[in-house]
Amino acid sequence: MTLDKPEWAEWDAALAAELLGRLVLVGVTRQTPDEELIEQLQVYGIVVAVDETEGISVEVHGEQWKGRTFALPPSPRAFQKARPGKYTLRGTGEVVTDPDYTTTWMLTAAHDS
């Protein structure tokens, strides 16, 4: 059996190239298999690498994560152009002004065996 990738997961080389060097706001929610919240995280930074196999790398700015690289799946279509304005990160209270793109991810932890 072959599972088709959803459209947002398909590699888009032109969009991937557009993401390089752009300021992105990333939201990640981690949950249990029963959909109980484990953690919500928001970071922002500059896209420093895009690769169809390795994924999308964001060099993170800000107080808590500065200097780290955040790796995201190779899905450029999961990024949306951000509306101009100020975005306040829930966890740190930092304000990000006029990011180029936003992306959000939901991660579900595996069942304990």
**For 20-70, how does the pLDDT look when each residue is reduced to its tens digit (9 = 90+)?**
999 999 999 988 888 888 888 999 999 999 999 999 999 999 888 888 999
In a domain, 59, yes or no: yes
Asked if the structure places residue 79 within a domain, the reply is yes
pTM comes to 0.84
Pairing of strands 101-108, 79-81: antiparallel
Q: What is the mean pLDDT of the chain?
A: 89
What local confidence, expressed as pLDDT, does residue 5 receive?
55
Which pLDDT band, with edges at 50, 70 and 90, does 3 fall under? Answer: very low
1 is a domain residue: no
**In 9-94, at which residue ranges do the beta strands (DSSP E only) sit?**
23-31, 37-51, 55-61, 69-72, 79-81, 86-88
Residue 113 lies in a domain: no
pLDDT for 64 equals 82
The answer to whether position 14 is within a domain reads: yes
Q: How many folded domains does the chain comprise?
A: 1
pLDDT for residue 44 = 96
Range of the domain at 27: 7-108
Q: How far is CA 34 from the centre of its chain?
A: 23
- Tokens, residue 22: 């752009």
Angle at 32 (CA atoms; ends 29, 38), nearest 5 degrees: 50
pLDDT at residue 2, as a whole number: 45
The answer for 62, left when phi > 0, alpha when psi is -120 to 50, beta otherwise, is: left
Please indicate, yes or no, if residue 63 is contained in any of the structural domains. Answer: yes
pLDDT at position 112 is: 65
- Establish if 65 belongs to a structural domain: yes
2 part of a folded domain: no
